[in-house]
Structure formats: structure tokens, C-alpha cells
Amino acid sequence: MFNISSIYPKKEGYRFDFDYYLNKHMPMSIELLSGAKGFKGVSVECGVEIDEPRIESSYVAMCHYYFDSLENFMVAFMPHAKELQGDIVNYTNIEPTIQINEVKITKQQYT
């Protein structure tokens, strides 16, 4: 399984509209990609700050798509790349870092 992540690092003067991202961009993205062969799931994480002890997150947000193979992701993503990447300016001025990983171990348990 492969994890394709868009990671939004904090930078001075950043703008990130979580309402737009979570309610417009991600539903569009999920609709376009989730029906593709090999799609396994998606998660979005938002960085948090802790006051005591003071810990600042390095990233504003992360989005992780999971596919059986990198090829499955590319077949799903490429026809929509221009639309999805073009929408970034609507929610942030951060250029995302793209990280592609082969998942070796995963276990999730939500209650």
C-alpha cells in the first residue's frame, strides 16, 4: 500500500482556510479520487499547539491518501491534477510538500 501525502508546512504570514479546505476542497477531492481502483482511504490532520509545555506544530495540515499502488493513485489523480492543484489558492498560500511512502506497517483502531 502507498501513502501519498500533501503536507502544509508553517511559514511566516501563512493563510489556511480550514472551512474551505474541509468543506469544499476535500469533498471535491474525495469525490474525484475515491472511486478509483485501489483506493483505500483518506485522512486529514490539522496541526495543534500546546501551551504547557510549549510545543508548536511544524505543519498546519496534512492530507494522506492511501492506494494499493502508486500506479493506481497516478491513474486516479492525473486526469484531475489541474483542477485539484488549481484549487489550492482558494484555501492557502502555502505550497504543499508532497511525500510518497510505501506503507510497511499500519494498524488503526478508532472507538
pLDDT digits (tens, 9 = 90+) for 1-21: 999 999 999 999 999 999 999
How many domains does the chain divide into? 1
Q: Which domain holds residue 91?
A: 2-102
Q: What pLDDT band is residue 42 in, cutting at 50, 70 and 90?
A: very high
Residue 52's pLDDT is what? 84
Contact criterion met (CB below 8 Å) for 20 and 93: no
Let me know if residue 49 belongs to a domain.
yes
Of all residues in the chain, what percent carry a pLDDT higher than 90?
87
Q: What is the CATH number of the domain that holds 29?
A: 3.30.70.100
Distance CA 70, CA 99 (A): 12
State how far the Cα of 16 lies from the Cα of 61, in Å rounded to an integer. 9
Whether 107 is in a domain gets the answer: no
